[in-house]
Structure 1
Amino acid sequence: MLKEYNLSNREQSENVPIGIFCENEAGKKFAGLTGETFENWLCIHYYAKEFV
């Protein structure tokens, strides 16, 4: 219910998808997140970190 409330009370703007990933020297991804931005907000949908 919190997400529904927040979406109904935010300013109207375009949502921009985002994906950020960290790689080690060998090019293997070990952490990252996906989400979207709108106005001055960042909404994280998924975050993952692999312990190497």
Structure 2
Amino acid sequence: KRIYKNKINLFIKSSVNYIIKFKFFIIFRKAYNKIFLNKNIKSIFYKVRILL
């Protein structure tokens, strides 16, 4: 959530009041690629004590 929110806030600060679908997916993809990394997923499983 935080990474996605930061990307959207960059648009807001640059006086963009709306976002078209194409630009939304560009932002979403960048946030998704930063969030869903193997190390992030493994660390979550480790925190809840599920070993892979």
Where on the TM-score scale, by shorter chain, does this alignment land: which range?
under 0.3
Task: Provide the TM-score with structure 2 as the length reference.
Answer: 0.27
Query: Could you say which structure has the higher strand fraction?
Result: 1
Task: Provide the TM-score with structure 1 as the length reference.
Answer: 0.27
Which protein has greater RCO, CA pairs closer than 8 Å, 6+ apart? 2
Query: Could you say which structure has the higher helix fraction?
Result: 2
